Structure 1
Amino acid sequence: MLAYIGLGSNLNHPKKQIKNALIALNYTKGIKVGGLSNMYQSKPIDGSKQPDYINAMCQVDTHLTALELLHVCQDIEIKQHRVREKKWSARTIDLDIIIYGVQVIVSTQLIIPHPKMMNRAFVLVPLAELEPNLKVPVLGPIQNLIDNLDTTKLVKL
């Protein structure tokens, strides 16, 4: 199964945090990182005073279920000292499953496609970099989603 995972960090050397998470993903049994976007810098989405975020997108090939993949991502976050104090607070690492094949999943633990992806340039732009002709389940062509966003504040690193 091809899945896309968004990676983000704004604490403790964000680029290094993203690289460490990618290494951890790739060393996990049943997961092979197959592609990686460039990194992008963006302001916090809530406008709060915290460091800018660094984001990237990776493609993984996995035989894990979506929930198993979620648990792997959460374990990596814990190992990299992710603290969940409040929504949209600064973090060492954030791993979000954005797309899992063509599946649509709605559960108390996981919603796929990611329910906020269509509002986030820092998700869509790097995703389109990996799959420019992607048709996002339920939402349609990725380029149409990007065309509805302001991408001018997203800085490619």
Structure 2
Amino acid sequence: MNTAYLSIGTNMGDRETHLREAVRMLGDLPSTRVDGVSSIYETDPVGFEEQPAFLNMAVRLKTELAAEELLGECQRIESELGRVRTVRWGPRTADLDILLFNDEGVQTEKLTVPHPRMHERAFVLVPLLELEPGIRPVLERRFPGFPAVNLEEGIRLRQPGGEAEPE
């Protein structure tokens, strides 16, 4: 059984519903179960900044799918949740990224694992480290200078009921 860590983000439509649906759909994949879910965080956009705030979370999966099969399923889920790829780092209903897959490095035309920019993104690291605090030494080994970003800037824990904690 493989262990995969994913980042899920959304900033369009009913953001919380998109996150819940993505997690449900991941759990419905063949030979796959959701083994852990982080809290939801509200985060400032990165890259293309003229867009609404995102909701982000991390998910741990146990799966018999191979890394590229999981990527295909993630892209299918994004599509089913209404994602249309128009602007790089632009608004989206769903974004599912494979961050880690076992302790493997994967390098294909379609997939790079560990995710090559994860150490630069608080919206990825904060939920991941909440979900799996013991993974920090692995990330420090993989990414010299880890973390490459302030883990307190531009990210707020989402409170039950939909409000973000003040910064």
TM over 0.5: yes
Equivalent residue number for residue 50 of structure 2: 49
Give the TM-score normalised by structure 1. 0.92
Could you give the per-residue CA deviations for residues 73-94 of structure 1, whole angstroms, max 9, x where no partner exists? Answer: 0000111110000201100000
Contact 1:8 1:55 in 2 (8 A): yes
Secondary structure of 2:33's counterpart equals: strand
CA distance in 2, matches of 1:48, 1:145: 24
SS at match of 1:129: helix
Paired residues for 1:33-44 under 5 Å: 33-44=34-45
| C-alpha displacement of 1:139 | 1.5
**Structure 1 residue 133: deviation in Å?**
1.5
Asked if the contact 2:139/2:146 (under 8 Å) is kept, the reply is no
Letter in 1 for 2:63: T
Size of the aligned set, in residue pairs, is: 154
Contact 1:113 1:136 in 2 (8 A): no
2:149 is matched with: 149
Residue in 2 that maps onto 1:139: 142
Structure-2 separation of matches of 1:125 and 1:55? 10
Q: CA deviation at 1:49?
A: 1.6
- In 1, the alpha carbon distance for the partners of 2:42 and 2:17 equals 14
- The 8 Å contact of residues 140 and 146 in structure 2, kept in 1 or not, is answered as no
| Cross-structure match for 1:119 | 120
CA distance in 2: counterparts of 1:137 and 1:83, whole angstroms: 34
Distance in structure 1 (CA, Å) of the matches to 2:31 and 2:123: 27
Structure 2, unaligned stretches of length 5 or more? 159-167
Provide runs of 4+ in structure 1 moved above 3 Å: none
Name the counterpart of 2:97.
96
Find the residue that maps to 2:134 and give its secondary structure: coil
Provide structure 1 residue ranges, at least 5 long, that are not aligned to the other structure. none
The TM-score, its normalising length taken from structure 2, stands at 0.87
Confirm or deny: 8 A CA contact 1:9 1:17 kept in the other structure: yes
Alpha-carbon offset, residue 152 of structure 1: 2.6
Identity of aligned residues (%): 34
